[in-house]
């Protein structure tokens, strides 16, 4: 594999604000006075943004300090986080492994302790996946819970602004800053249902970790989990074609990303209708399970994070999103939290809750991480 340009996670470093809680943002969110380039050479000459993305403005007004913009997988359309143009950030705790995409820089600056939290975006796992690769927390709120005003692309039926942190108490504070309530810490964890969908060794390790914390999880199934993953791929393909196809004429978009954007042109109305039908049915299945238990649990990644060499072909690792992407399709809030290692690589547990229950996910993460083994 050709060497990639190594980055500390940032594409720009600066300081806005003077609060104690420091944060960074993915370079798909507008910062006034700075261009939004999304890790793409086709946007190298993008104009400076005239105003902050709404979520950034809220955080600055609440007393947080912005430390800079972070690198990402080009146009937020990839799962490895490898980007030779704007930089591939070093995974701080697992330097031979991919940092994960697309919000790679935001995950690594949090893992390295450079900021208290960071913002990313999650269209098909792009917060939860790098969180799992870098051993930090990654929260994808429910669809629409956080404003996407001033976020690239301007429209998405899947994308959510998400949050990285090392400790759940920081997530609690950030949610309070953005007016999402989090109740008092839990004295007991509510019922959890576990979905066995990853490699057996990963699932077994996660179940053992839960049981060691006194959590007995019921085994359940989501019959449409795989179809939901594929439906999410169909929708993102078409929506990214609509958002970015005008950039292809510049011939400055990297070939692997350009080919995936181009593929969206051929998505038919029948394929989209089928994907939307899966969305409706899968959402009903998730809601039905959540009526029985307030939390669902499954692996964040179906297999262990690959090394940079193993991920040389970006298309070969797209299957890594098959357990996270379905919950972009349904829009449910989901959180990835680190749960130790397997064969020297990190594993992570994904928790899913009902719409509007971001606070419950943070409470559950607090409860589980207080009982770290």
In the predicted structure, residue 3 carries a pLDDT above the cut 80: no
Residue 190 lies inside a defined structural domain of this protein: yes
**Triad 191, 186, 170: Cα angle to 5°:** 115
Domain hosting 332: range is 10-370
pLDDT digits (tens, 9 = 90+) for 209-260: 999 999 998 999 999 999 999 999 999 999 999 999 999 999 999 999 999 9
Residue 196 lies inside a defined structural domain of this protein: yes
CATH number at residue 229: 3.90.1300.10
Residue 65 DSSP one-character state = E
SS3 34: strand
Q: How confident is the model at residue 360 (pLDDT cuts 50, 70, 90)?
A: very high
Residue 4 lies inside a defined structural domain of this protein: no
Cis omega (within 30 of 0) for bond into 153: yes
Averaged pLDDT for residues 306-316: 84
Beta carbons of 83 and 140 less than 8 angstroms apart: no
Per-residue pLDDT, 313: 72
Averaged pLDDT for residues 320-342: 98
pLDDT digits (tens, 9 = 90+) for 123-154: 999 999 999 999 999 999 999 999 999 999 99
Q: How far apart are CA 146 and CA 162, in angstroms?
A: 8
Q: How confident is the model at residue 314 (pLDDT cuts 50, 70, 90)?
A: low
Residue 202 lies inside a defined structural domain of this protein: yes
Averaged pLDDT for residues 89-106: 97
**Percent helix, strand and coil across the chain, each to the nearest 5:** 40, 20, 40
Per-residue pLDDT, 1: 40
Neighbours of 366 (CB within 10 A): 18
Residue 34 lies inside a defined structural domain of this protein: yes
| Number of separate domains in the chain | 1
Residue 3 lies inside a defined structural domain of this protein: no
In the predicted structure, residue 2 carries a pLDDT above the cut 50: no
Q: How confident is the model at residue 372 (pLDDT cuts 50, 70, 90)?
A: confident
Residue 150 lies inside a defined structural domain of this protein: yes
The greatest distance separating any two alpha carbons of the chain, rounded to the nearest whole angstrom, comes to 57
In the β-sheet with 218-220, what is the strand arrangement from edge to edge?
A: 10-16, 65-70, 22-26, 117-122, 160-165, 137-140, 334-342, 345-352, 295-299, 192-195, 218-220
């Amino acid at each position: 594999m050709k060497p990639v340009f190594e980055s500390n996670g940032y594409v720009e470093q600066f300081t806005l604000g003077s609060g104690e809680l420091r944060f960074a943002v993915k370079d798909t969110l507008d910062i006034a006075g700075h261009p939004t380039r999304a890790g793409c050479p086709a946007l190298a000459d993008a104009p400076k943004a005239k105003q902050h993305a709404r979520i950034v403005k809220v955080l600055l007004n609440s007393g947080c300090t912005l430390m800079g913009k972070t690198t990402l997988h080009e146009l937020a359309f990839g799962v490895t986080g490898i980007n030779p143009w704007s930089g591939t950030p070093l995974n701080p705790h697992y330097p031979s492994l991919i940092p994960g995409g697309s919000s790679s820089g935001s995950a690594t600056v949090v893992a390295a302790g450079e900021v208290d939290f960071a913002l990313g975006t999650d269209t098909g796992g792009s917060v939860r996946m790098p969180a799992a690769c870098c051993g930090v927390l990654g929260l994808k709120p429910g669809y629409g819970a956080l404003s996407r005003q001033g976020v690239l692309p301007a429209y998405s039926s899947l994308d959510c602004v998400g949050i990285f942190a090392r400790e759940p108490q920081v997530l609690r504070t950030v949610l309070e800053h953005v007016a999402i309530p989090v109740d008092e810490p839990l004295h007991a964890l509510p019922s959890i249902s576990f979905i066995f969908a990853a490699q057996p060794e990963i699932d077994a390790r996660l179940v053992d970790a839960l049981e060691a914390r006194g959590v007995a999880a019921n085994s359940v199934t989501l019959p449409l989990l795989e179809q939901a993953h594929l439906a999410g791929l169909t929708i993102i393909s078409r929506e990214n074609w609509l958002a970015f196809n005008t950039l292809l004429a510049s011939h400055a978009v990297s070939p692997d990303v350009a080919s995936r954007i181009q593929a969206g042109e051929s998505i038919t109305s029948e394929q989209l209708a089928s994907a939307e039908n899966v969305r409706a049915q899968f959402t009903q299945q998730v809601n039905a399970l959540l009526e029985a238990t307030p939390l669902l649990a499954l692996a964040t990644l179906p297999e262990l994070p690959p090394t940079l060499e193993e991920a040389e072909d970006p298309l070969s690792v797209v299957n890594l999103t098959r357990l996270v992407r379905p919950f972009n399709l349904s829009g449910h809030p989901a959180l990835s939290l680190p749960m130790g290692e397997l064969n020297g690589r990190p594993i992570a547990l994904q928790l899913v809750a009902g719409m509007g229950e971001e606070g419950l996910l943070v409470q559950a993460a607090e409860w589980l991480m207080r009982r770290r083994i």
